[in-house]
Structure 1
C-alpha cells in the first residue's frame, strides 16, 4: 500500500515533514497564475483573494504560496513528488513540463490531473508517471471506458466512488489505483478491503503507519 501525502507539497514545511515521515509520494497542487506556477489548492479570486472549501476566503498577502521551482529545489533529486495540475487552462501542463525538463531532467516524478488532456504534454518524458484522476461518477464512467481501450500508468479516484468490483476492473489496465481522501482508520480499512494500491491522505500519522509496514 503506497502512502501519499495529500497537499503535502503546497508548503515548504509540509513538503519537508512529509518526506521526513517516509511517505511514498508527496502531492502538490500546481496553478498557473499571472505567469507563475503557484503551489496551492485554493482558487484565486481576482488579484487579492484565495478561496478554499475548508478555509474559506483568505487574502493573498496573508498566505505564503511557494512556486514550483522552490518546491523542486527542496525536493532535489528525490523521486517522491506527485504534481496535481489544476485550473481550466491547459497551459499549466506545458509550463510544468518545461520546468521539469529544465530543473530535474530525468528525475522520476508523478503527474496527475482531472483534465486528462494535460498529460499529453508529458507523453515523451519517460521519467514522468501520468496519472488520471476522477472526482465524480461521470468522470469515473469516462475513465473506465478509456481504460477498456488502453492501459494507464495509474489512476487516482475519490474513495466513495470505489467498489471492489470497480477496483478489480481498473487493475486490469493499471498497476496503480489510488483512493482519496483517506483520513481515518475506518477509511483505511475500507481501502484495504477495496484492494487499492495507494491511499492519499492529509493524516501524516496514518501515512507513517502505512509506510512503517
Structure 2
C-alpha cells in the first residue's frame, strides 16, 4: 500500500480541514475532547475552573468559540477520511462519538486512535471504524506489543518515532496494516522512517505532506 499522508491536527479548525484537503492528504487528524456533554475538536486542554485553555507554552481564553465534532463532520465536502484522536482516560468521548456518528448517518471509513485503548475498542463494532492503538512511551509500547499478540486484530498502530527501529516496525506490520508515527516535520526524518518501513506519516508541515502525495505520481 502507499504511505499514508496524515495531516496532524488539521481537523481542529475548518481552515485546517480545507487546507489539508487542498493538499490531497489521505487522512485528516483531529483531537476529540468530551467537555460538559459536548464533543470538541481542539489540541488545547482545559484547566478545571480556571478561565483558559493551555498546552505547554500556549494559552487561550476558555470563552473563545470552540469547534465541535458535529460541525467539523458536517462541514466536510470532500468525503474526507478523518482520524479521531480520542483524548482523556475515560470512555465518555467514545460513547458520545458513537451516538453522534449514528445521528449523522456516517458510513465512510473512519480511523479512531488513542492512548486510552478501551475508548478505541468501544468503537470497533461500527463497520466503518478502523481502530488504531497509540503508544507514546516505552511502557505503553511494551503493552502494545503484548496486546497485538493476545488481543483482537486492529487496523493500525501509532507509535512515537523515538521508539521505532526497523526490527520493531517489521514486528508490528506482522499484526497490523499500518504503522504510523509522529512527529514527522523534517525531510531527513521522513526519509529515515520510510527506510525502516513506516507506512503512515503524521505531519504538521504542508510542504512535507504535499511532497509525500506528489511522490506517488
Structure 2 length as normaliser, TM-score? 0.93
User: Aligned pair in 2 of structure 1 residues 120, 32: CA closer, same or farther (>3 Å)?
Assistant: same
- Structure 1 segments, 4+ long, off by >6 Å, are none
Residue number among 142, 162, 165 corresponding to 1:163 in the alignment: 165
Q: Which residue of 2 aligns with 1:52?
A: 55
* Secondary structure, counterpart of 1:83 in structure 2: strand
Deviation of 1:53 (Å): 2.1
Alpha-carbon distance between aligned partners in 1 of 2:78 and 2:128, rounded to the nearest angstrom: 12
Q: CA RMSD in A?
A: 1.4
Alpha-carbon distance between aligned partners in 1 of 2:146 and 2:33, rounded to the nearest angstrom: 28
Are the aligned partners of 1:177 and 1:196 in contact in 2 as well (CA < 8 Å)? Answer: yes
Q: Which residue of 1 aligns with 2:19?
A: 17
Deviation of 1:176 (Å): 0.5
Alignment of 1:183-194 (within 5 A): 183-194=185-196
In structure 1, list runs of 5 or more residues that go unmatched.
none
Are the aligned partners of 1:77 and 1:104 in contact in 2 as well (CA < 8 Å)? Answer: no
Alpha-carbon distance between aligned partners in 2 of 1:120 and 1:176, rounded to the nearest angstrom: 17
* Secondary structure, counterpart of 1:28 in structure 2: strand
Are the aligned partners of 1:11 and 1:65 in contact in 2 as well (CA < 8 Å)? Answer: no
* Secondary structure, counterpart of 2:190 in structure 1: helix
* Secondary structure, counterpart of 2:150 in structure 1: coil
* Secondary structure, counterpart of 2:132 in structure 1: strand
Q: Which residue of 1 aligns with 2:146?
A: 145
Deviation of 1:59 (Å): 1.4
User: Aligned pair in 2 of structure 1 residues 11, 29: CA closer, same or farther (>3 Å)?
Assistant: same
Structure 1 length as normaliser, TM-score? 0.94
* Number of residue pairs matched by the alignment: 211
Alpha-carbon distance between aligned partners in 2 of 1:211 and 1:7, rounded to the nearest angstrom: 18
Cα-to-partner distance string for 1:60-83 (whole Å, 9 max, x where unaligned): 23x442000110011256141111
* Secondary structure, counterpart of 1:148 in structure 2: helix
2:105 corresponds to 1:89: no
Deviation of 1:36 (Å): 1.1
Deviation of 1:118 (Å): 0.5
Are the aligned partners of 2:21 and 2:80 in contact in 1 as well (CA < 8 Å)? Answer: no
Alpha-carbon distance between aligned partners in 1 of 2:80 and 2:195, rounded to the nearest angstrom: 28
Cα-to-partner distance string for 1:129-186 (whole Å, 9 max, x where unaligned): 1110111111011001111224321101101110100000000001110011100011
* Secondary structure, counterpart of 1:129 in structure 2: strand
